[in-house]
Structure 1
Amino acid sequence: MRLAHAADIHLGRRQYGLKQRETDAGLSFQHFLSQAHEQDTDAILIPGDLFDSRDIRPQTLQKAEELLEDVQQPVIVSPGNHEENMSRRRDLTWLEYLNNKGLLTLLSADLSGDRATFAPTDAADPRQGGGGYVDLERDDELIRCFGLQYRGAYIERDLPNVAEGIQAVNHSEGEPDKTILLAHFGVDDAVPDLGANVARAALTDIEDLIDYIALGHIHKRFESGRMARNPGSLEAFDIQEGRWDDSHGYYIYETDSGAAEHHLSKRRPYHTLNFDVSGYRTFEDLRADFETELENARPEVEEVCKREIHLDGRGNRREPIVNVRFEGTLLLDHTTFDVEVLTGLAEEELDALYVQPTNHTERKAVQELLGDLERDEAFNPDGTVNTDALQERVFTTIAGESRYSAEAEAVAETLDQVEGLVNEDEQSVGEIADYLRQRRRELFPEGPGARDEQGEADGAANGVNSE
């Protein structure tokens, strides 16, 4: 058999609040379904996030129904994190609604016992609410598909039980020619920085039972081991995802050979433009050079827009989403650095659907304060200042330039602790003052402030004696 595997469709997603982006998600899904038909696939696998939300708009549901009504082969779906709330289960989800109408076959495991159980269902007549597994037969070949809903942090705990449940079904119903699992999680060896839920070793229990793991959840394509495949979302839904040029699409899985070939999906083009603000003392000069940079960038943007995967259904250019990254040391006052004006220029010059600015500039005063700190320590991965490192440097500077400079490091730690007492623990002024007096006695028993404190004590004592 030949199976098409896509995930993370996110029908209804309005990125940046743009209705066009909701339309884009539908168009990408429509193109995928047409390709699945052209390539003569026997079934379609969607392991999670067909919808972007449990609370979809009526037009989103209508679009999904229209598209699914035209599909000839079974569409097999398991729930993702955008479609089900693990702690607050609804009486009827939209996936169950579509299942009950016969437009898709919904598969989930029953995890209420010590072992996962999978109820049988029929692709031609799905059980109300969905089942746990479905058998697909063609030319004397039996393919058994199991579905596992999104389980978040519980997934590693559940996988051994899932393995037992699959084994129990295959033992009672007979071994199929191939076994497939639809699931919604990432694997840490493949995407360690993208919120993976499962350590590679946790798949050991099911590897001997499964021939193909159809994954979703991570929007970037990855492959793990000999059977786990994640196609990446059909559309790119943020700036980072837009940079993953060849990581969005779907797989065509051949059950006889075990081969899974990845195909790129149709999606809106993205482009990132970097602009260094260093050295500009007037906004007028910065704006003039930025306009020149936009003119120079136009040919490169057009090359991106001309890629086949970015053209619309008629082969026409689609307006790109552009990320403008402002970098460098900003000498201008923040009130004169008008990002909105620059964004408007980029949208007009590059004929963009939307321009998303990201400000990775460093203020000169902050840069001087951070001094010789390594960049990885001074700034977060997204380019913003590491406020903890900045706060530590501020406190160290204050302590070093005060009369307590002999113990600058300890004083800086004390200031940091005081900040926590105020902002996090909400301690009273009196309690904070007591803490400071205690720390001063510990750090400077004979040093700065000790004489003043002793004088206060002597005065208090004299007052008592005089009475």
Structure 2
Amino acid sequence: MRLLHTSDWHLGRSFHRENMIEAQAAFIDHLVAAITAERIDVVCVAGDLYDRALPSVEAVRLFGEALGRIRDTGARAVLTSGNHDSMVRLGYATDLIDASGVHVRSSLEGIGTPVLIEDEHGPVAFYGIPYLEPEIARHHWGLTERGHPAVLGRAMDLVRADLAARPEGTRSVVLAHAFVSGGEPSDSERDISVGGASHVPVSLFDGVDYVALGHLHGRQAITDRVRYSGSPLAYSFSEEHHVKGYWIVDLDASGLAGAAFAEAPVPRPIARISGRIDDLLTGDRWAAYSGHRLQITLTDPVRPAFPMDRLRERFPHALTLDFAPEDPPEEDGRTWAERTADRSETDLVLDFVDWARGAPAGADEERLVRTAFEEIRTREATR
């Protein structure tokens, strides 16, 4: 049996306010083509299908189209909810759509009850473990211990108990959405530490043939059997050097036979660049970044005027701008009160203009500021 392990689609997500739906649709196009080309039997999607519990209309439409196209290839699909998804909403009508070969596992009650899919060697049991909110799952199972290790440990106990009752040699795949110790996070994952310890030991997954993990956005193999596919697209600049894609996993008669990572196309690469504005605007070495989504850090000693407007003439997809002078002025050790003791209100405003713009206010601007304060003082005196 050949599996495709993916996760963290985050349909409907934006990247620094830039809509990603077209890039996500392009990934779905690639995924459907890969399912056919690689002769995939089962697509496993380990959570965070949407980016929020109430997804946009266009995200829901894309998700529905994706499931239909996957089934049109002849492959089956097993999906779980992640911490960005609504467990209840995603679990709606799952009993009905099971008949189509799309199996969404998004409830506490369904943990330990597998989706059984046959190949020439017999059944493979797919156990979907949705993201477990620690306090909700703890009360559901009557646990005294708090945190992710406790609730995910209970979920895996249910999986192993069911597997032990099946014929010897039954192969097993677990889909889970969690932060496993040893994994490398990025800036785009939502913190899941609320409700107890967020990390879980990899040993919790002992006893199954393959574990398809979601939550962390970088691909990684915690062990040969326990892997993160990562997100198919970059959702933060910390993912600048990530290679995006999915795992293709083969099961033979005895279990895991191998796993290989397949890269997905990058619709628009991301990068972080820094330098002085004149060099960024004219230097030949920066020409390669004109089509990137960019985080730019300016190192000019004085903040340039209208920097983002100027930068976007060469880099139309520049999204964020920071200012880190190469030779910053020495820190003034005086308190704020000490530094402003001999400065009038007008002087403070003009100081701010000089700092923010990198150039002092002109004569007309200075006259406007002084006139404004005179009017304020006159108004206060006549009350």
- Give TM-score scaled by structure 2 length: 0.72
- Written as runs of structure 1 = structure 2, the 5 A alignment for 1:306-317 is none
Distance 1:32 1:83 in 2: 21
- One-letter amino acid of the counterpart of residue 305, structure 2: F
CA deviation after TM superposition for structure 1 residue 331, in Å: 2.5
Match 1:190 to one of 179, 183, 188: 183
CA deviation after TM superposition for structure 1 residue 108, in Å: 4.1
Could you list the runs of 5+ residues in structure 2 that have no partner in the other structure?
135-146, 340-383
- Written as runs of structure 1 = structure 2, the 5 A alignment for 1:45-56 is 45-56=44-55
Match 1:292 to one of 261, 266, 282: 282
| Contact 2:308–2:321 under 8 Å retained in 1 | no
**Residue in 1 that maps onto 2:3:** 3
Distance 1:190 1:14 in 2: 25
**Residue in 1 that maps onto 2:307:** 339
Cα-to-partner distance string for 1:64-113 (whole Å, 9 max, x where unaligned): 2223223221110010011126xxxx4xx1453566344620124627xx
Identity of aligned residues (%): 17
**Residue in 1 that maps onto 2:248:** 252
Match 2:293 to one of 314, 321, 325: 321
The secondary structure found in structure 2 opposite 1:218 is coil
**Residues 97 and 109 of structure 1, relative CA distance in 2, 3 Å threshold:** closer
| Contact 1:69–1:103 under 8 Å retained in 2 | no
**Residue in 2 that maps onto 1:232:** 230
Cα-to-partner distance string for 1:113-168 (whole Å, 9 max, x where unaligned): xxxx7364xxxxxxxxxxxx211111132211111111256321113212321122
The yes-or-no answer on 1:167 pairing with 2:160 is yes
**Residues 7 and 14 of structure 1, relative CA distance in 2, 3 Å threshold:** same
- Written as runs of structure 1 = structure 2, the 5 A alignment for 1:94-133 is 94-97=90-93, 100-101=96-97, 102=100, 104-108=102-106, 110=108, 118=111, 120=113, 133=114
**Residues 267 and 59 of structure 1, relative CA distance in 2, 3 Å threshold:** same
Distance 1:140 1:51 in 2: 35
**Residue in 2 that maps onto 1:387:** none
Match 2:81 to one of 79, 82, 105: 79
Distance 1:261 1:95 in 2: 31
- One-letter amino acid of the counterpart of residue 107, structure 1: R
The secondary structure found in structure 2 opposite 1:49 is coil
Distance 2:214 2:26 in 1: 19
- One-letter amino acid of the counterpart of residue 355, structure 1: A
CA deviation after TM superposition for structure 1 residue 250, in Å: 0.3
- Written as runs of structure 1 = structure 2, the 5 A alignment for 1:10-409 is 10-19=10-19, 21-70=20-69, 71=71, 72-84=74-86, 90=88, 93-97=89-93, 100-101=96-97, 102=100, 104-108=102-106, 110=108, 118=111, 120=113, 133-151=114-132, 154-191=147-184, 202-207=201-206, 209-241=207-239, 243-246=240-243, 248-256=244-252, 257-272=256-271, 274-277=273-276, 286-287=277-278, 289-293=279-283, 295-298=284-287, 300-301=288-289, 319-326=291-298, 328=299, 330-332=301-303, 336-347=304-315, 352=316, 354-362=317-325, 367-369=329-331
The secondary structure found in structure 1 opposite 2:29 is helix
**Residues 345 and 33 of structure 1, relative CA distance in 2, 3 Å threshold:** same
Distance 1:321 1:99 in 2: 42
Distance 2:261 2:131 in 1: 23
The structure whose Rg is larger is 1
The secondary structure found in structure 1 opposite 2:152 is helix
Determine which structure has the larger helix proportion and give its number: 1
**Residues 175 and 361 of structure 1, relative CA distance in 2, 3 Å threshold:** same
**Residues 228 and 273 of structure 1, relative CA distance in 2, 3 Å threshold:** closer
C-alpha RMSD of matched pairs (Å): 3.1
Could you list the runs of 5+ residues in structure 1 that have no partner in the other structure?
112-116, 121-132, 278-285, 303-318, 371-392, 400-467
Distance 2:17 2:311 in 1: 17
| Contact 1:12–1:22 under 8 Å retained in 2 | yes
The secondary structure found in structure 1 opposite 2:49 is coil
- One-letter amino acid of the counterpart of residue 236, structure 1: A
| Contact 2:2–2:249 under 8 Å retained in 1 | yes
Cα-to-partner distance string for 1:31-58 (whole Å, 9 max, x where unaligned): 1122022111110000101122222222
Distance 1:94 1:151 in 2: 14
| Contact 1:12–1:56 under 8 Å retained in 2 | yes
| Contact 1:118–1:169 under 8 Å retained in 2 | no
- One-letter amino acid of the counterpart of residue 260, structure 1: A
The secondary structure found in structure 1 opposite 2:331 is helix
Distance 2:248 2:169 in 1: 20
Distance 1:143 1:79 in 2: 21
The secondary structure found in structure 2 opposite 1:63 is helix
- One-letter amino acid of the counterpart of residue 358, structure 1: L
Distance 2:32 2:168 in 1: 30
The secondary structure found in structure 2 opposite 1:259 is strand
Distance 1:240 1:10 in 2: 17
Determine which structure has the larger strand proportion and give its number: 2
**Residue in 1 that maps onto 2:365:** none
